[in-house]
Structure 1
Amino acid sequence: MPRSSFSDNPLLRVSRPVSACSRCRAAKVKCDGKLPACTACEKAGRENECSSANDQFARGKERSYVAALELRIEKLERRLAYARSRKASVAQHESDVAPTQEPDRKDSLATIRAAIHRKAAQKRENSDVNSLMSDFGFLSINATTRDFEPSMNCMTFARLVLAAASNDPLPDVRNWALPPRHSALSIVQFYMTNIYSLYPSFSETTLYAALDQLYMQQDRGMKDADYWLAYMVLAIGSTAQSQSSQDVNYTNGLDFVAKAFEHADRALMPGYVTQIQSLILLTQYSMLDPAHFDSWHLIGFTCRAVIDLGFHQDPPREQITDKAVLDMRRKTFYCAYSLDRSISMIQTRAFSFTDAAANVAWPRPSSFSCRASITGQLLSGSEPAFLLFQLRRAQSHWYQILYQSEPTPLPDAASFIWQMCQDLREWVETLPTSLPVGMRELFDLEVHYSSVYVLAPPERAPQTSAFSRVLIFEHAIAYLDRAYDIAHSGVNSAFYTYHDALRVFFMANQFVAVLHDTEDLLLADVAVAPPPTDPGKPHAPPLPARPGGPSVDNLDRSLGCLERTTQTLTKYGERWRDSEALKQTFERIAGEVIDRLRVRQQIRQRASPPQSVSPPLPREMRWVDVDVQSMMRGNRGI
């Protein structure tokens, strides 16, 4: 009988048979009433003809539940004994070291042992993976689990992260040495000024202490999380200054990451605050190096760690003992929050968690004060971080309403969109004057990007007015022209990553789409009045400032913007090879529009040929207290 039938139809005995089966009754033999077939029918091979086989629940033949349980226990005990004997026989051949040489094919015993070893190793690996995945799912219940200790098994959380989020392999750094201390401090200073000021996810005191220990080679006092912090800050600071995937800054950053991963098992171990901080650093690096890491998977791991440790909720007031620790906890949360919102929006995906699931107050403004760095210079402070947190919170609000809610028309969508645009405009106009120029440029780009994102016709606001299209045109062209200048400046004055190439591609697509839909209106260069609004409702925002004034018409502006966008993506392609694919896609999308605009330009030039203008007469240069004629005669002229 098949094994499954024992559980489905267990062998049961009634305590006292009431009546014989039909076959025993006809043969006038004693029937023991065994179920599902009596002994006489079973010996004769007529189990299917026994009435009990077809009528197990006939009157007077009810199953005995106790007998069923006893029989099941008996059979399970036999299976357990058999499994133990099999495990004992396999364990005799298991070892932690694989066979050192290929067994001789004629040696059947060696071949059997090798096969048993491979099977046992595969069983151990499967067991480790299953155990890890079950523990990973358990993290949401027990956030302080230590089941990912490297000494427990060969599968760790860090290796799971590396397997899920890695693309190209990291280089071998066994013969690698630390750079000179002054070079490392220069890299750290760049990180603190341009990146830490936006994402203060750890204490700078901890970073400088780790650097001191790293260069003093005090291994006894350093933890794996400290090694990770020092190496990853150096990696991000070096790679962020790169201009090409072949330059020294990029290769040095890759070496720093490879060194950091030597300490990944414990640095990324769940249950500690350092796990969140380490994952934030790895996510930042992945945004600079998409060839080796996937930022989408990494920010997912980061947010999972944030929720598992409860950082998405402020602790009760009675548990707050140190306000500085609470501020650091809140900064760490909002760093992960900001990265999640930024990455999700540029990839048009859902957030890792909603705003309704989080309840974290802002860090105290005093916690963003300036501090002196290890080099003696005054750091620029973390005020830009607080501004970035505010911007990401606003972006998260309208992104969830417009793109993550039910795809039904939004009631009074125009008022909602005008209000969001007004909020963005007021926010950027109230930025402090003390903000560094590079940070101001970064926030200006974010506002142009957000404005186009809000104005682009989603499913909840399908009606787009002519004035909205003009707004999209002006914000997109302002963004693309400024992105071109920043990409070709050769200086990274803020945290610009591969995601900026994706933003350029997004804005260029919106620019081409609005040109395609409203070409005649936009190129006519006529003033478009904003749509009327009811009293008490938000009004349409004004158009952004037009560089160069009205002297340059929209036809020349559009052609110049499209050509500069191609050059921007080409420049980004020197740093990130994926940007080459973006450029090719953009050229295919914009090719028809560019050809049509050039035809318009040629028609305009033929219709109004340029008038000949006589060159201006040379003017005499007059210098104060200088006799030019005397100088020409060879005198000093004074």
Structure 2
Amino acid sequence: MSATLFLDKPLLKVSRPVAACSRCRTAKIKCDGKLPACSACERVGKSDTCSGASDEFARGKERSYVASLEGYCERLEKKIAELRHLKTSLSVDNRGIAHQNSITSITSSESAAQGPNKEVSDIDDLVGDFGFLSITHLLQHYFDTLYIQLPFFAETSFWTSVDAMYQSGGRFAKPFDHWMLYTVLATSSASLSYEIGDESQQDALSYVTQALQRAEDVLRPGSIQGIQAIMLLAQYSLFDPKHFRSWFLVGMAVRVMVDLGLHQDPPVEVQSSTKHLDLRRRILHCLYSLDRGASTVFERPFSFSDESVNVALPSTTAGSMLSEQSHLFLRSSEPAWHLVKIRQILSEAYSRNYFHDHDSCPLYAKSTWALGAEAYEWFDATPNTTPSQFPVLYKLELLYTVIIILSPNDEPPTAVGEYRNVVLFERCMQYLGQIQETLRNPAWSPFLTFWDMHRALQAIRRLTRELTENHDLPLSPSVPVLPAVPPETPSALVLDGEDCLNFYARATACLSDIHCILRFGLRKWGDDPVFEEMQQLSETIQRRLISSPAPYMAGAGAGAGAYMAGYSTMVSTGPGSGYPGYDIG
């Protein structure tokens, strides 16, 4: 039986409602109690505000629910009888083809009138099914790659919106249902785009255009759905910086979040359901992650401080979370909350550098090496539920956080600072090499956003600074002598002379990595000041490498060392790997 017929005759339509909806009571008119909205509210276009759709109103209708189920069963029996009658009216010709008798095919004027409507309804359902199948791969990609990083809405609520969109031609879908589905599709398509104007980018622009048609209805302050709507657009902006500015969108969502008080857990005595509390916490921590990412990328102050937040992480053992994890198709949000923890370390490191002139800043008490140790401890504590591709994302987050931790902050140069510069030089090369390695794997490259291009630029700036200002150690023509290693330095950040012997060769390879990143960014996003500066810095690095003396390279045995030839262009990676177009220069 067509799903449209079920929705045209709601199951909870009652003959004698226990109570009228608020609008009918105020107007003192008859209310038929139909759900999700009564007929009177539907006629005047007030379906969304009809109180008949609320749980409180529906609680009084259990008595008529049984009667509605009986009516539903009666309609099913009638449909079965019609199908049996249709079967008897069929005749088979000598070729084995079934034909319907023109006289018995229509038994009454009523069925004759309903015939065209039923046919149209069945076609609508069929088109809806095919339309859903055409976007399944995009939804799968979004939840496997992007949602697990920022689960700021319940996955079950999203599939409810999808059902509303593809059932009965979307007549019962609300503006937020349209917004959620189209922004998710736009974000998924944009992440799969590798070149300006390709099919994925065109699809993304088409989807976001359809979403923006509902902007006035969903981008409204004062509600959790309003925050989610802004966050969905901010997430899309990470892949489409030409049309949307992620910094302003994240700041807008934070402002609404603070106005609603989501940055503080409500007192126990006034807390609502576990599900609602979990949603509040999801939104807060996802916004925290976005704000810390945006602030460090664009080198601006945070929208709110760490001290102003008093919200626990969403528990993976809470009732609502347990129900999600028990579902075969729903994802665990534990990897996302682990990602929030490294953003907290990043926040502390960035605050140290940004507020280093303020003696009263309590965060400044932690040393550089203590923060570095925390970062590596975080990486070693990766959850077991982490998807297979997530360690790559975690590695990028770790290296970028360490770069921010090690970045100088105008303090007087000391021996500790000199050693820190050496480690910073090495970690910048490692970070850029990790991005290039990510680009070589088609399964990993959709993780990279325009923010990663900004982060790469920051690493290139620091790398260039070390090559131009502190070049004696990185490009030393002899076996280098490292500065004294601070005693509190974690083992992961301890270097020795052997680690520095290949700095020249690694810097040369790093220049090739920069060219690969630059090529990817230009293909995906086109001309941008980020890539212009990246190109200029790469030329500076190249000139510095060409003008440097031949470095000393250690040999296999004693006295087997040799001096390496001068700078030479690296050979590009061979074909057959990387994102589509990776090998096109």
Shared fold by TM > 0.5?
Answer: yes
- State the match for 1:385 in structure 2: 336
Structure 1 residues 509-520: aligned runs within 5 Å: 509-520=461-472
Structure 1 residues 36-185: aligned runs within 5 Å: 180-185=131-136
Matched, 1:566 2:515: yes
Query: How much has 1:382 moved relative to structure 2?
Result: 1.5
Partners of 2:205 and 2:315 in 1: CA distance: 36
- State the match for 2:239 in structure 1: 288
Amino acid at match of 2:517: T
Amino acid at match of 1:588: Q
- State the match for 1:483 in structure 2: 435
Pick from 372, 377, 395 the counterpart of residue 426 of structure 1: 377
Q: Return 404-413 or 220-229, whichever deviates more.
A: 404-413
* Structure 2 counterpart SS, 1:394: helix
* Structure 2 counterpart SS, 1:226: helix
Partners of 1:406 and 1:415 in 2: CA distance: 15
Assess, with a 3 A threshold, how the Cα gap between structure 1 residues 411 and 499 changes in structure 2: closer, same or farther: closer
Query: How much has 1:557 moved relative to structure 2?
Result: 0.8
Kindly indicate whether the alpha-carbon contact (under 8 Å) linking 1:240 and 1:288 is maintained by their aligned counterparts in 2.
yes
Unaligned runs of 5+ in 1: 1-150, 152-176, 611-638
Q: How many residues were matched structurally? A: 425
Partners of 2:431 and 2:329 in 1: CA distance: 32
Partners of 1:552 and 1:462 in 2: CA distance: 24
Assess, with a 3 A threshold, how the Cα gap between structure 1 residues 400 and 207 changes in structure 2: closer, same or farther: same
Amino acid at match of 1:487: L
Q: Return 270-279 or 458-467, whichever deviates more.
A: 458-467
Assess, with a 3 A threshold, how the Cα gap between structure 1 residues 396 and 609 changes in structure 2: closer, same or farther: closer
* Structure 1 counterpart SS, 2:292: helix
Amino acid at match of 1:593: I
Deviations 1:101-146 (A, max 9, x none): xxxxxxxxxxxxxxxxxxxxxxxxxxxxxxxxxxxxxxxxxxxxxx
**Superposition RMSD in Å:** 3.1
- State the match for 1:539 in structure 2: 489
Kindly indicate whether the alpha-carbon contact (under 8 Å) linking 1:312 and 1:357 is maintained by their aligned counterparts in 2.
yes
Taking structure 1 as the reference length, the TM-score comes to 0.61
Taking structure 2 as the reference length, the TM-score comes to 0.67
Query: How much has 1:363 moved relative to structure 2?
Result: 1.1
- State the match for 1:262 in structure 2: 213
Amino acid at match of 1:539: T
Partners of 2:483 and 2:471 in 1: CA distance: 17
Partners of 1:604 and 1:416 in 2: CA distance: 34
Structure 1 residues 206-605: aligned runs within 5 Å: 206-367=157-318, 371=324, 378-404=329-355, 406-407=357-358, 416-459=367-410, 463=414, 465-492=417-444, 495-524=447-476, 526=480, 528=482, 530-533=484-487, 538-543=488-493, 553-579=502-528, 581-600=529-548
Assess, with a 3 A threshold, how the Cα gap between structure 1 residues 415 and 377 changes in structure 2: closer, same or farther: closer
Partners of 2:356 and 2:500 in 1: CA distance: 43
Kindly indicate whether the alpha-carbon contact (under 8 Å) linking 2:155 and 2:330 is maintained by their aligned counterparts in 1.
no
* Structure 2 counterpart SS, 1:432: coil
Larger Rg: 1
Query: How much has 1:591 moved relative to structure 2?
Result: 2.5
Assess, with a 3 A threshold, how the Cα gap between structure 1 residues 554 and 299 changes in structure 2: closer, same or farther: same
Kindly indicate whether the alpha-carbon contact (under 8 Å) linking 2:289 and 2:343 is maintained by their aligned counterparts in 1.
yes
* Structure 1 counterpart SS, 2:493: coil
- State the match for 2:75 in structure 1: none
Deviations 1:438-476 (A, max 9, x none): 211111111111111111111367656221012101211
Kindly indicate whether the alpha-carbon contact (under 8 Å) linking 2:369 and 2:489 is maintained by their aligned counterparts in 1.
yes
Partners of 1:587 and 1:302 in 2: CA distance: 34
Deviations 1:183-213 (A, max 9, x none): 3121111111111111111111111111122
Kindly indicate whether the alpha-carbon contact (under 8 Å) linking 2:334 and 2:385 is maintained by their aligned counterparts in 1.
no
Unaligned runs of 5+ in 2: 1-45, 47-126, 554-561, 566-585
Q: Percent identity?
A: 29
Amino acid at match of 1:496: L
Deviations 1:267-309 (A, max 9, x none): 1122211001111100001111011111111111111110111
Kindly indicate whether the alpha-carbon contact (under 8 Å) linking 2:508 and 2:545 is maintained by their aligned counterparts in 1.
yes
